[in-house]
Chains A and B, each alone.
Chain A
Amino acid sequence: MGTTLRLVARRLWQLLPIVMFATLVVFLLLQLVPGDPALILAGDYASKERIEEIRQLYGFDRPLIVQYLSWFLNVLHGDLGTSLLSGAPVLELIMQRMPNTVLIAVYSLIIAAVVGITLGVLAATRVGSRVDAFVTSTASLGVALPSFWLAILLVATFALQLHLFPATGARPFTVNPGDAIRHATLPAVALAVGVIAELARQTRSALIEVLSSQYVRTLRAKGLGPMAILWKHGLRNISVTLLTLLGLAVNRLFSGAVVIEAVFAIPGAGSLVAYSAINKDFPVVQGTVLMFAVIVILVNLTVDILNALLDPRVAEE
């Protein structure tokens, strides 16, 4: 247990520099976007003096590094600032949008885990069969498919032709969970396909290795049935691989959400970032990127802790 605690402490300590680096890079990239926020803020018919005044008021005239550090210091005090465009507190904006993104990401992860692992297990236990051939051939295809293209295809078929799911928008989960899930289904499926393909492939190869191992021969020699060998020993032995993959999938789902939310016109954190970046609303971009970074790091930390608990070999490292 001591090793696990040390692991948590070390990871939490690493959080600070990673978050700082990520937000700094985004901040510098934003400078490349054409346009001047002071111009936008001042309005269409503002005088040159007025624009200069606004520039000084918001501190845009200061050196970039000073601007960045003052933002970061405020963050450390719990203040994410206000939106340049709407004047609303950034934290409030994120809190409005984030639930929609989290719903899609979690939903998509559940679909991917159930379908991907099932396909992988089916393929691994029937090597050379038709199921196996299907999984191995479509897995590479699934990884290569762009999710936005798939999204458009899904909308065309399931929303516009069959009217099974709404084509766009989102509903808050807390108000009407059923409706929220119906709205989130197509985006979640579009995001899940790539992860399903990856999971199925990796589950298959990891499980084939475990099932041909010497300890599985021992399990058979002691009279265990194939189901106990597969579901108890097989899955437990590949759980570290699976959890690590799911952790990586979370990163992928959040970055994929930016595009998918645009396709489905979902007011989520991804579309918030995209819209704010185009308009150089840097406090909002920074704040959202910070949130994404923290979520990704915490997910990876959870994965590491679970791995250490599941596999004594990981804990010993």
Chain B
Amino acid sequence: MDPIPGGREPRQQPLLDVRNLSVAFHDGETWGEVLTDVSFAIEPGEFVGIVGESGCGKSLTALSILGLLPPRGVRLGGAMLFDGRDLAKLSERARREVRGRRISMVFQEPMSALDPVFTVGTQLLETVRTHFKVGRREALERAVEALAAVGIASPRQAAAMYPSSLSGGMRQRAMIAMALVCEPRLLIADEPTTALDVTIQAQIMDLLIELGQRTGTAILFITHNLALVAESCRRMLTMYAGQIVEDGPVREILARPRHPYTAGLLGSIPQSSRRKSVLPSIPGRVPSLHEMPPGCRFAPRCAHVEPPCLVPQQLVSGRDWRKVRCRRAGELALPGAQS
């Protein structure tokens, strides 16, 4: 048994420490804040899942960490400490040295995420040569090794192929190989399996878990699919309307969610034991930027609203390693996942 739930080592310095991150976009007239007070940490080698509906700010959080937000019309607040350095304060040049080398990313659509006019091998060796002073041949050797490491059977042939001649699963493997070829400390995987067949999905998830354990790379896994998080992550974050609403070990959150939104997501997972009943869903929809409630952002859709919910909610740490953004978390007894 782990001494601490979720296996986190408390006194270790986190690999990535995001503090009060906020992102606002200018739409020509006003600023719309799309990320508000996002704080979380990732330990070295940890496998963390971020769950939430599309548009809740998961991908935006990832792009902010990498520094891939558009150059104009964006206002960034807060800090992102990576290995002790604040990424938000780095120059563009310094951020480029981090991107692909220390922090890398895998995207949702492997088809459109690879350049169609260069071979897979060229694109991988380009990544190597961007960050290391090595010759073409040595870079290609590393590229082939990386392709082999993600389970591509004949890596040398695959390296000579164009993305269009690979299958979807192979392409995503190549993307993962490209993300890991410089042995980064953190891999952000943004819906890496969503565009793939179910059987391929499982293979890619297994691959990510295995690579994370083997290389010690921490993985931030972004998905709307809570079931995938339940199977693969130790810790999870729930995001709603640009905020983190719950943070804690997956097993405990699944058993006893503290935020009504997490509980709602859990209730929406199809389960074989209740095959005959109607699949429950959360009523209403995510509020748009301009109609954001002043208090708890989930309040309009929540079944447990009371007067304390009408003021802004803070992400509060419990005595255990769990955090929740709900004043009523202590008094509610929300149903967990049935398994």
Residues of A in contact with B (beta carbons under 8 Å apart): 213-215, 217-225, 228, 233, 236-237, 310-313, 316
Beta-carbon nearest neighbor of B112 in chain A: A214
Q: Could you list some 12 contacts between A and B, CB below 8 A?
A: A213-B112, A215-B114, A215-B115, A218-B115, A221-B68, A221-B100, A221-B107, A222-B99, A222-B178, A223-B101, A236-B118, A313-B117
B164 in the interface (beta carbon within 8 A): yes
Given pairs A218-B113, A312-B162, 18 additional interface contacts (CB within 8 A): A214-B107, A214-B112, A217-B68, A218-B107, A218-B115, A220-B68, A222-B99, A222-B104, A222-B127, A223-B98, A223-B131, A225-B96, A228-B130, A233-B118, A236-B117, A312-B116, A312-B164, A316-B164
Chain A contact residues: helix, strand, loop or mixed: helix
Q: Decide: A217 and B130 in contact? CB cutoff 8 A.
A: no
Residues of B in contact with A (beta carbons under 8 Å apart): 66, 68, 96-101, 104-105, 107, 109, 112-118, 126-127, 130-131, 162, 164-165, 175, 178-179
Q: Decide: A217 and B107 in contact? CB cutoff 8 A.
A: yes
Smallest beta-carbon distance A112→chain B, Å: 24
B107 contact set on A, CB distance < 8 A? 214, 217-218, 221
Beta-carbon nearest neighbor of A217 in chain B: B68
Beta-carbon nearest neighbor of A221 in chain B: B105
Query: What 5 pairs across the A-B complex have the smallest Cβ distances?
Result: A223-B100, A222-B100, A223-B99, A214-B112, A312-B162
User: In whole angstroms, how far apart are the Cα atoms of A310 and B119 in the complex?
Assistant: 12
Interface centre among B105, B114, B115, B175 (most CB of A within 10 A): B115
Smallest beta-carbon distance B40→chain A, Å: 20
Q: A222-B130, A236-B118, A312-B162 are in contact. Are A215 and B113 (CB under 8 A)?
A: yes
Smallest beta-carbon distance A15→chain B, Å: 29
User: In whole angstroms, how far apart are the Cα atoms of A222 and B113 in the complex?
Assistant: 12
Looking at the complex, which one of A217, A219, A221, A310 makes contact with B117 (CB distance below 8 Å)?
A310
Smallest beta-carbon distance A213→chain B, Å: 7
Beta-carbon nearest neighbor of A237 in chain B: B117
Q: Decide: A221 and B164 in contact? CB cutoff 8 A.
A: no
Smallest beta-carbon distance A222→chain B, Å: 4
Looking at the complex, which one of B68, B98, B112, B115 makes contact with A233 (CB distance below 8 Å)?
B115
Smallest beta-carbon distance B8→chain A, Å: 28
Q: Decide: A313 and B164 in contact? CB cutoff 8 A.
A: yes
A316 contact set on B, CB distance < 8 A? 164
User: In whole angstroms, how far apart are the Cα atoms of A236 and B105 in the complex?
Assistant: 24
User: In whole angstroms, how far apart are the Cα atoms of A177 and B38 in the complex?
Assistant: 68
Smallest beta-carbon distance A269→chain B, Å: 37
Q: Decide: B109 and A214 in contact? CB cutoff 8 A.
A: yes
Looking at the complex, which one of B116, B117, B130 makes contact with A224 (CB distance below 8 Å)?
B130
Smallest beta-carbon distance B220→chain A, Å: 13
Smallest beta-carbon distance A53→chain B, Å: 66
Looking at the complex, which one of A217, A225, A311 makes contact with B113 (CB distance below 8 Å)?
A217
Beta-carbon nearest neighbor of B188 in chain A: A221
Smallest beta-carbon distance B174→chain A, Å: 11
Beta-carbon nearest neighbor of B128 in chain A: A222
A215 contact set on B, CB distance < 8 A? 112-116
A237 contact set on B, CB distance < 8 A? 115-117
